[in-house]
Amino acid sequence: MSRSTDPKLRRLPLAALRRKTARIARLLEQHLGVPDRRMPLPEPLDMLVATILSQNTNDKNSHRSYTELRRRYPTWELVAGARPAAVRSAIRTGGMANQKSARIRETLAAVLRRYGKYDLSPLRRKSNDRIIGELTGLKGVGAKTAACVLLFSLGRDVFPVDVHVHRLCTRLGLAPETKNPERTYAAMKDLVPRGKGHSFHTNLIRFGRTVCRSSNPRCGVCPLYALCTFERRIEGKTAPKPLRRAPSRADHDFMLLDNV
């Protein structure tokens, strides 16, 4: 687990943490650009199921499992009525097919009971807190999954925290050291600049893939080196600013419905 090289950085007041977060968000936009939103936004139930399928697997496999599920069953009514073994077969490439197929079926059943149809569009009229409360009330749906629905489907200004974003927020000293991404999500709610939830989330994931990788981070080309508190960063690097590159289609794979 990463630890701060300077314990004082863990005791920054809220205002200082907000300034640091805003600076990091600006630097990432200078390096990676401002991410585009896919328009029109995907339906919230589509996003919810896609995010369930993304858990504990990589982007390529979760994307394949989602597209195969929708190829075989174009509507959620068909998924709900399909044999469990057939649903497991459709999503097998995403891993944990037994658990995920059961979770999807339970989610669809709960949506039908609550809203009378396989449709989460009524959420559009509700507040963020109310939506998070309703979604996390579904078995197997946590704060990250609910926040992904809010951000990528409902267009709300929220900041989802998965394990990768969690890693970067702790390395940068923005969030307390914890093994729980949901605690990091709570800590970051008051730090992310208004209107920057989508940009900051997306660019952190891009940045984590290309520079601040889980293992062997590329400290020598990191534009955030001076702001980093990661104890295992490579010392003595001058951190020249990398050349800005245009985002590729692959940068968006983690937003599963961008390529559907």
15: Cβ–Cβ under 8 A, 6 or more apart, which residues? none
- 105/89 Cα distance (integer angstroms): 14
What three-state secondary structure class fits 94?
A: helix
* Residue 242 near residue 223, CB atoms below 8 Å: yes
- 75/178 Cα distance (integer angstroms): 40
DSSP 122-182: GGGGS-HHHHHHHHHTSTT--HHHHHHIIIIIT--------HHHHHHHHHTTSS-S-S-HH
Strand partners, 230: 4
Give the active site residues: 144
- 174/184 Cα distance (integer angstroms): 9
Cα distances (Å, whole numbers) of residue 84 to 49, 90, 133: 16, 10, 28
How many other β-carbons are positioned within 10 Å of the β-carbon of residue 230? 21
Cα angle value 169/174/175 (rounded, 5°): 75
Cα distances (Å, whole numbers) of residue 160 to 182, 185, 204: 9, 7, 11
